[in-house]
Structure 1
Amino acid sequence: MPIYLYWGENEFTLQKAVASLGDRVLDPQWVSFNYTQIPADQPDAIIQGLNQALTPPFGAGNRLVWLMQTTLCQNCPEDLLTELNRTLPVIPETCVLLLTSRTKPDGRLKSTQLLQKYAQIREFSLIPPWKTEQIVQQVQQAAQEVGVKLTQKSVELVAESVGNNTRQLYSELEKLRLYAGIADKPLDVEAVAELVQANTQNSLQLAAAIRLGDTAKAIALVAQLLAHNEPSLRIVATLIGQFRTWLWVKLLMEAGERSERTIAQAAEIGNPKRVYFLQQEVKSLSVQQLVSTLPLLLELEVSLKQGAEEISALQTKVIELCCIFQ
């Protein structure tokens, strides 16, 4: 199929997929003739891209036309929809049309429905920071891809150090691969700790500091997160996810549920073995304390979306949240 739609916020893996597609369809000696990148802000970008996609390639290999950061799946005027209907079914097999966007396609739009019919669609979203099991799996897969052997403890340390930052993950794994050389022995925790740059200021640590009522540490973590350019809304999303998980675990404990598998399923926890540790974290907390956090986090999310000053809004609500657990 000569049409692809890649979307998502994980720019690093999306760019890798674009490069892989180019390697697959383009002849290296004819790239300058057959590879076209069209930015979204270019006049008539979509029409230009569709016309290019109908043009047979020169020489060997195929043609690749890349419509970058297109808004076609968020807003599509009637005249563009007409062009899509006319063009997509007749793009030749020797031409590849690639559309990319950071934003999820709007399934209600006819343009999106048309692409669902004719295109291969792939999502490139960042793993939420609180889904630690998925981050560990991502590290394992990336390590295999890069060709570096790690112990299970080393995998977990890398996951803890880089979080869901895919670009940093591959950078650190490449560093570890060069360090390991041709050794067959997996790298241990000590080697990883010396080489991997730990991004210790993460939102899960902020959630833990709030749970412990440690206001000073929580305020410091807010400042460090913002200094590392962590988006404020992503911080809030992580906090909401973590406190909801803690609330679910506590409610099920209070209800007398003992099965870790049942609790994991109800709380959407990927690894049932993690339930034990979550139970220890909420053991000394009350349901009411955990319930009280959610309205405050919702207020914080709304205020940030309405344009409130980030550091002031975050610090104020973090102080209020810490007070709940003191």
Structure 2
Amino acid sequence: MPIYVYWGEDDFEMQTAIFRLRDRIVDAQWLSFNYTVIPATQPEAVIQGLTQAITPPFGAGSRLTWLVDTTILQQCSADLLAELQRTLPAIPENSVLLLTCRNKPDKRLKSTQLLQKFAQIQEFSLIPPWKTEQLIDKVQQAAQELNVKLTSESVQMLAEAVGNNTRQMYNELEKLRTFAGFDSKPIDKTTVATLVSNNTHNSLHLAAAIKDGDSPKALELMTQLIAQNEPALRIVATLIGQFRTWLWVKLMSEAKQDPTTIAQAAEIANPKRVYFLQQEVKGVCVTQLVSTLPVLLELEVNLKQGFEENSILQTKIVELCQLFR
């Protein structure tokens, strides 16, 4: 009874994993019979999926039933829970049930606890934009997977250009691989700067503009981020994470702590990055950094209360910039 639960916001990585699972277990010649996709919008979607999952496959290979954007990991009625308890153990070995959702499964729910017993659960969450080391590692892993040779500088440049957009990262690496052809030399940063689209202004650039007290630039970056459909709450989460990191670095640097200790306290994976963070906060004081957090937390609360995004973002960004003048 193979059962899988995929969750997270990285749609590209999840989709890639789903297609790999499908291609591995479903015979291509019997795909139209043994591969069923059931959106959550369909009536009785979960019941329909469970009924399909316990049906043996036709012909060769196995059956894959995919419940898209299911809500049973966030809410589940008693009747539906009873159906899950009855059906999950009865799914045959040559039938696979896949459940996907964007939100983290609620571990308090009995349906989630039941699936934890029967299913393989895999997370596909986006790397927070401020965790630059993880983004660089992600680019390095993808480059190795696609056999694209990059210098360390070009890896960092590509990570800065694409941020946590996994789809764009793979697209840009494919472009670089095509350009390199059979050349065995690593692709340098000049080539990356020429070929890679870097019109994605991420929230870290916005944080830097705020720290510099540059209101016009900060407002321009905010407008571009919203135009790129970057969720306002995700922008705020990045700003909070970055200013907290800067605050830790500044506090502990003034306390004469060594880079390794600072890295551990600020949750920085690579202690060598502490030096660069110290340079970034060299011209600001602890009081200024501390003052940003109440403003950012108030902004987060306002957004969750339904305030108009552009208006409240503009107001609070200007207020934040004034702290550094």
TM-score by length of 2: 0.98
Q: Which residue of 2 aligns with 1:189?
A: 189
Listed one character per residue, the Cα deviations across residues 162-194 of structure 1 (whole Å, up to 9, x for unaligned) are 111001101111111111112211111111111
Q: Which residue of 1 aligns with 2:60?
A: 60
Counterpart of 2:300, as a letter, is: E
Counterpart of 1:234, as a letter, is: R
Partner secondary structure for residue 108 of structure 1: coil
User: What is the count of residue pairs matched by the alignment?
Assistant: 325
Q: Which residue of 1 aligns with 2:307?
A: 308
Q: Which residue of 1 aligns with 2:99?
A: 99
Q: Which residue of 1 aligns with 2:248?
A: 248
Q: Which residue of 2 aligns with 1:324?
A: 323
Q: Give distance in 1, aligned partners of 2:41 and 2:53.
A: 19
Q: Which residue of 2 aligns with 1:71?
A: 71
Q: Does structure 1 residue 2 correspond to structure 2 residue 6?
A: no
Q: Which residue of 2 aligns with 1:225?
A: 225
Structure 1 runs, 4 residues or longer, greater than 3 Å off: none
Kindly state the Cα deviation for residue 229 of structure 1 after the two structures are TM-superposed: 1.4
Partner secondary structure for residue 138 of structure 1: helix
Q: Give distance in 2, aligned partners of 1:15 and 1:316.
A: 38
Q: Give distance in 2, aligned partners of 1:224 and 1:6.
A: 31
Kindly state the Cα deviation for residue 148 of structure 1 after the two structures are TM-superposed: 1.3
Which deviates the most, 194-203 or 4-13?
194-203
Partner secondary structure for residue 13 of structure 1: helix
Q: Which residue of 2 aligns with 1:268?
A: 267
Q: Which residue of 2 aligns with 1:174?
A: 174
Q: Give distance in 2, aligned partners of 1:3 and 1:263.
A: 43
Q: Which residue of 2 aligns with 1:294?
A: 293
Counterpart of 1:256, as a letter, is: K
Listed one character per residue, the Cα deviations across residues 40-87 of structure 1 (whole Å, up to 9, x for unaligned) are 010111011111111100000000000000001000000111011111
Kindly state the Cα deviation for residue 200 of structure 1 after the two structures are TM-superposed: 4.5
Q: Which residue of 1 aligns with 2:138?
A: 138
Which deviates the most, 182-191 or 290-299?
182-191
Counterpart of 1:42, as a letter, is: Q
Counterpart of 1:280, as a letter, is: Q
Partner secondary structure for residue 315 of structure 2: helix
Counterpart of 2:293, as a letter, is: L
Q: Give distance in 1, aligned partners of 2:202 and 2:44.
A: 42
Q: Give distance in 2, aligned partners of 1:322 and 1:186.
A: 41
Listed one character per residue, the Cα deviations across residues 78-105 of structure 1 (whole Å, up to 9, x for unaligned) are 0111011111112111000000000100
Kindly state the Cα deviation for residue 199 of structure 1 after the two structures are TM-superposed: 3.0
Kindly state the Cα deviation for residue 201 of structure 1 after the two structures are TM-superposed: 1.4
Which deviates the most, 30-39 or 83-92?
83-92
Q: How does 1:82-121 map to 2 (within 5 A)?
A: 82-121=82-121
Q: Which residue of 1 aligns with 2:277?
A: 278
Q: Give distance in 2, aligned partners of 1:87 and 1:200.
A: 46
Kindly state the Cα deviation for residue 312 of structure 1 after the two structures are TM-superposed: 1.2
